[in-house]
Chain A
Amino acid sequence: EDQVTQSPEALRLQEGESSSLNCSYTVSGLRGLFWYRQDPGKGPEFLFTLYSAGEEKEKERLKATLTKKESFLHITAPKPEDSATYLCAVHNAGGTSYGKLTFGQGTILTVHP
């Protein structure tokens, strides 16, 4: 069974204090790892797709990296507007899980001014 575990559950940062969010996954046939941002009462907003170990993607203050077992979302010099829940998901191409998009529980990020 596919599993996606995100840590920490919640993270509080001061503005400008860089940190990382972790996404550990177990999947039989990874066909993509995805990061999303979700604001309260809204649908998730797509951020990044990673396909293979060693791949990196960047967008403004965010950088996503991928290894064979986990992904990190690095946040550099965060601002209060970066406060949100960050979700990680994996797409499985193997066996009975083909086509399923499985999500982690999310990390709630709060950035204080």
Chain B
Amino acid sequence: DGGITQSPKYLFRKEGQNVTLSCEQNLNHDAMYWYRQDPGQGLRLIYYSQIVNDFQKGDIAEGYSVSREKKESFPLTVTSAQKNPTAFYLCASSVRVSGTEAFFGQGTRLTVV
């Protein structure tokens, strides 16, 4: 089945640690996105990528980093510089960066302990 796979579903991090969230898609989509969702707030864009080896900062990129070495993969690293990392993280992809619908994975819930 085609789709977007995020792993792990739940992740616990100690303060001061970096963690990497995985996002893989087999839809052959060029564009990929990372969003953060907090209770009572909408989805906020962290990073997006239009093509392999290219990515742009979204609205809340501070404390996060990404890479796009393969078309299928767009991992997100939450660094120790992110002051409030506890949130629900969503990865999405679309055929191209403009004008086409995005499809989402099932999310990773990150908790700092």
Contacts and interface: CB of A to CB of B under 8 A. Distances in A.
Interface stretch (A13-21, A66-74, A92-100): A92-100
Contacts, number: 70
Contact of B98 (A31, A36, A41): A31
A64 interface: no
B2 interface: no
Chain A interface main SS type? strand
A46 B99 contact: no
A52 to B, nearest CB: 11
B42 A103 contact: yes
B31 to A, nearest CB: 7
Interface string A90-113: 011100001111111110000000
Interface of A: 4, 31-32, 34, 36, 41-46, 49, 51, 87, 89, 91-93, 98-106
